[in-house]
Amino acid sequence: EVQLVESGGGLVKPGGSLRLSCAASGFSFSDYALTWVRQAPGKGLEWVSSISGSSTHKYYADSVKGRFTISRDNAKNSLFLQMNSLRADDTAVYYCARAPPDTTATTPPGGYWGQGTLVTVSA
Amino acid sequence: QSALTQPASVSGSPGQSITISCTGTSSDLGGYNYVSWYQQHPGKAPKLIIYAVSDRPSGVSHRFSGSKSTNTASLTISGLQAEDEADYYCASYASSSILFGGGTKLTVL
């Protein structure tokens, strides 16, 4: 069974940093691109960042470029999102999601999403 | 990286059909056949209901169908049921990014 489990969310002050993790199981991890999607309270889905299976290709939304870094450890079946210089408008539930098979990193996510982890940026 | 455009809300009565539109440009939605639709109930993660414009994942009801014409994709839900009340999002491949629509709240009257 495919599972994606996010962790690392919490309360952080503006300007602070946080590292999110997504533990994957049930599939050949390195064969799939992965994506972070966030959802601010009461708002819609927003693409944050995507990474190819081999980490060769990394993509970022303009709103997080230069502040967030996506990475993965294929030996540990884990996806990460390092978030620096956090702002109040980064407050959201962050989901990790798997791309469909045999697609690129910026193909919309497929049918496997985690349950999300809440990041709150507030003084 | 502009968002795709969806109506904020649609509504319909049980048994009726509704269509939700999703408009992009020739550089994103109109240029590729990688359009997906997601259903999200409150407090839950999004659920994929349509991928590659019109394909349905296994287990998704045949009442859900997708299509695309030029720069606009559409999701049609036929035979509306109470459990279809949810938020619906479109998403598209856009070369070096993924674009999401702003979401449409479906109310089943």
pLDDT in tens, B43-75: 999 999 999 999 999 999 999 999 999 999 999
CA distance linking residue A70 with residue A67, whole number of Å? 10
Do B50 and B56 contact (CB within 8 A), yes or no?
yes
Is B100 touching A (CB cutoff 8 A)?
yes
pLDDT in tens, B9-28: 999 999 999 999 999 999 99
pLDDT above 80 (res A5): yes
Question: Chain A, 14-33: which have a CB under 8 Å from a chain B CB?
Answer: none
Closest CA to B36 of A103, A57, A21: A103
Is B1 touching A (CB cutoff 8 A)?
yes
* Torsion angles phi and psi, residue B84, rounded to 5: -80, -10
Question: Chain A, 75-114: which have a CB under 8 Å from a chain B CB?
Answer: 95, 100, 103-104, 106-111, 113-114
Candidates A107, A112, A118: best to mutate against B (most CBs of B within 10 A) is A107
pLDDT above 90 (res A102): no
CA distance linking residue A58 with residue A50, whole number of Å? 6
- Our measurement of the distance from residue A36's CA atom to the centroid of its chain's CA atoms, rounded to an integer in Å, reads 3
Handedness of CA B10, A43, B102, A103 (dihedral sign): negative
Per DSSP, A109 falls in state P
CA distance linking residue A53 with residue A56, whole number of Å? 8
* Torsion angles phi and psi, residue A46, rounded to 5: -135, 125
Per DSSP, B2 falls in state P
Nearest CA in chain A to B93: A107
The Cα of B5 is separated from the nearest Cα of chain A by a number of Å equal to 12
Is B106 touching A (CB cutoff 8 A)?
no
Q: Which residue in A59, A62, A108 is closest to B91 by CB distance?
A: A108
Q: Which amino acid is at B102?
A: G
Do A20 and A119 contact (CB within 8 A), yes or no?
yes
- At B2, the pLDDT band (50, 70, 90 cuts) reads confident
pLDDT above 90 (res A104): no
